[in-house]
Structure 1
Amino acid sequence: MPARSLEPTVAAHARKTGSRTRDDKYYSKVIGRALDILAILRKQEQPLGLADIAGHVGLAKSSVFRLLHTLEVSNYVERTAEGAYGLAADLRLWGDGKRVTDLVDAAMPHMRALSREFGETITLAMQFDNRIEVVATLDSPQLIRMANTVGRILPPHASSLGKAITAHLPDDVVERLRRSYGTHRFTEYTITDEVALKQEYERVRTQGYSTDAEESVLEGCCFGAPITGPDGVVIAAISLSMPKMRLRDKAMQKQVVAAVRDAAANTAAALTRT
């Protein structure tokens, strides 16, 4: 997605200094430029590359890189595997001014409980505009395991977390997610047909949980449940992932699903108290 012009954002930030303009002898230009970068990244729907950020702030890439590196080391920005930059998770906001870390803090005790009970990988994901992104994960201690990574963008059609969230979103948001990610076929079990996918989302809404039955990775299975915010709108999901060989039978699946749904419900309840 092309970066939109953010010159008004930077100008607005400058105006907020009131009568003390950037010509003020006490004004730190270095700190001001760093704040400009944070203001730019806050307005973006996805991470920006170094060249884009340098263009927005009107500085050489070498100067912007030093600022970004300092912000990254100080945990104000995060860099993706592709080298793009975005706000650190605890600076991103959702709902009524809540931070992503509020969600992680609410979910973590219940994620740990799931991890202790089953010894499998537990993951928390959240919707951000045009993507569904992993914001916390607890890896399984077992040698053979399913793994996840904070910052990973999840397919809305082929992951339990993606489906648990997408199934509850308005049609226009669902279409935006699908346009952003596509409907890539990961395995022979991936659902790519539009009609079948709509039926899958309906099934998720009806049963209150989602599954990934080797749809993103062969021999892997995953169970997810949606998390609602204080306003009752689904904002995130929690999941348990495991190798198919350790899912013993239907009784165990039922036990896992019940535990994941309880963890999601308990997280939602904790959010209403924050």
Structure 2
Amino acid sequence: MSENPDDLVVAATRALAILDVFSMEEPHLGLSDIARRVGLAKTTALRLLKTLEASHYVARTDQAQWRLGPATASLGSRYTMAFDVRESIEPALRKLSDETGEDMSFFVRDGDHRIRLVKVRCPQAQHNRARVGEAMPLDRGASGLVLLAYMGETGPLYDEIRARGYHVTVGEARQTSASVAVPVFGNRWRVAGALCIGMPASPDVAPKLHAYAPRLLQAAQSLSAMLSYDAGTARHERRPRATWHP
């Protein structure tokens, strides 16, 4: 059923129409072309372009033309990730949770924080009730440190994480929690997020987390293969160094 035109915001529909005029064949367009294609006066089109520019949805080129801005790439990545989560990540986490009897999470980076994008709770696991969408510090906890390591952070700790391929922390992000995390790679083998097993902290939990690492690395490798959309290209590109990569 189509929307009632009276319910639509005209300025928003015009701004979206402007974003739609850019294409792979014509990534850069001048003001006159944009105004003509969306059926607007140049003054109106310019006001809308400046509004979109303020939020980084469009940007100006050196040739006084316009192109899509970085915010559109971020939006596209989030849209793509929503499909990846539903189709690939959540079933993989559920399988791991069934096999290990532990809680599973998938974290992504958001600025200086990590966001729990997916969580699968094992009914038998005795652990905290962390929520999907929860923002946590990036520089504490196994998943945050793994994300930093594979996004290029320098230093002995991050060198060690990259050499080992995973990281274990106990009582770091929360005193009552312990976790082991590994990186998951996406398109062109860029870091997509971190796969994590969490459990209550205890004096003898670290060896158990290290023992889970090979299984977690294997799952991350399979997920990375599914999320790297151009597998033929990925095979010939330089992949981030980790012990489990083929």
1:153 is matched with which residue: 135, 145, 148? 135
Give the direction of change, closer, same or farther, for the CA distance of 1:272–1:220 in structure 2 (3 Å limit). Answer: same
Letter in 2 for 1:122: M
* Deviation at residue 116 of structure 1 after TM alignment: 0.4
List per-residue Cα deviations over 1:156-193 (Å, max 9, x = no partner). Answer: 2111111111111135xx9xxxxxxxxxxxxxxxxxxx
Give the direction of change, closer, same or farther, for the CA distance of 1:121–1:131 in structure 2 (3 Å limit). Answer: same
* Deviation at residue 112 of structure 1 after TM alignment: 1.1
- Asked if residue 101 in structure 1 is aligned to residue 82 in structure 2, the reply is yes
The alignment's C-alpha RMSD in Å is 3.7
Equivalent residue, structure 1, for 2:123: 141
TM score, norm. by length of structure 1: 0.54
List per-residue Cα deviations over 1:37-64 (Å, max 9, x = no partner). Answer: x999895xxxxxxxxxxxxxxxxxxxxx
List per-residue Cα deviations over 1:185-235 (Å, max 9, x = no partner). Answer: xxxxxxxxxxxxx32222211110012211011232100000111312222
2:145 is matched with which residue: 159, 163, 176? 163
| 1:247–1:253 Cα contact (<8 Å) kept | no
What CA distance in whole angstroms lies between the structure 1 residues aligned with 2:224 and 2:40?
44
* Deviation at residue 236 of structure 1 after TM alignment: 0.7
- Asked if residue 199 in structure 1 is aligned to residue 181 in structure 2, the reply is no
Q: Secondary structure at the match of 1:157?
A: coil
Letter in 2 for 1:123: S
* Deviation at residue 109 of structure 1 after TM alignment: 2.4
Tell me how many residue pairs correspond in the alignment: 179
TM score, norm. by length of structure 2: 0.60
Letter in 2 for 1:228: F
Q: Secondary structure at the match of 2:188?
A: coil
- Asked if residue 240 in structure 1 is aligned to residue 243 in structure 2, the reply is no
| 2:112–2:138 Cα contact (<8 Å) kept | no
1:122 is matched with which residue: 85, 92, 104? 104
Give the direction of change, closer, same or farther, for the CA distance of 1:158–1:269 in structure 2 (3 Å limit). Answer: same
What CA distance in whole angstroms lies between the structure 2 residues aligned with 1:249 and 1:201?
19
What CA distance in whole angstroms lies between the structure 1 residues aligned with 2:83 and 2:204?
32
* Deviation at residue 121 of structure 1 after TM alignment: 1.2
Equivalent residue, structure 2, for 1:13: 16
Q: Secondary structure at the match of 1:151?
A: coil
What CA distance in whole angstroms lies between the structure 2 residues aligned with 1:120 and 1:40?
45
What CA distance in whole angstroms lies between the structure 1 residues aligned with 2:136 and 2:76?
20
Q: Percent identity?
A: 19
* Deviation at residue 124 of structure 1 after TM alignment: 0.5
Equivalent residue, structure 1, for 2:67: none
- Structure 1 unmatched runs, 5+: 1-8, 23-37, 44-90, 175-197
What CA distance in whole angstroms lies between the structure 2 residues aligned with 1:40 and 1:106?
35
Give the direction of change, closer, same or farther, for the CA distance of 1:112–1:143 in structure 2 (3 Å limit). Answer: closer
What CA distance in whole angstroms lies between the structure 1 residues aligned with 2:159 and 2:126?
33
Equivalent residue, structure 2, for 1:253: 209
Q: Secondary structure at the match of 1:222?
A: strand
List per-residue Cα deviations over 1:97-144 (Å, max 9, x = no partner). Answer: 861123312222221121001221100111245542221111231363
Q: Secondary structure at the match of 2:228?
A: helix
Letter in 2 for 1:103: D
- Structure 2 unmatched runs, 5+: 1-11, 22-34, 42-51, 58-73, 231-246
What CA distance in whole angstroms lies between the structure 1 residues aligned with 2:196 and 2:147?
11
1:208 is matched with which residue: 165, 184, 189? 165
Equivalent residue, structure 1, for 2:223: 267
| 2:102–2:125 Cα contact (<8 Å) kept | no
Q: How does 1:37-186 map to 2 (within 5 A)?
A: 92-94=75-77, 99-104=80-85, 105-142=87-124, 144-171=126-153
Give the direction of change, closer, same or farther, for the CA distance of 1:136–1:204 in structure 2 (3 Å limit). Answer: same
| 1:238–1:260 Cα contact (<8 Å) kept | yes
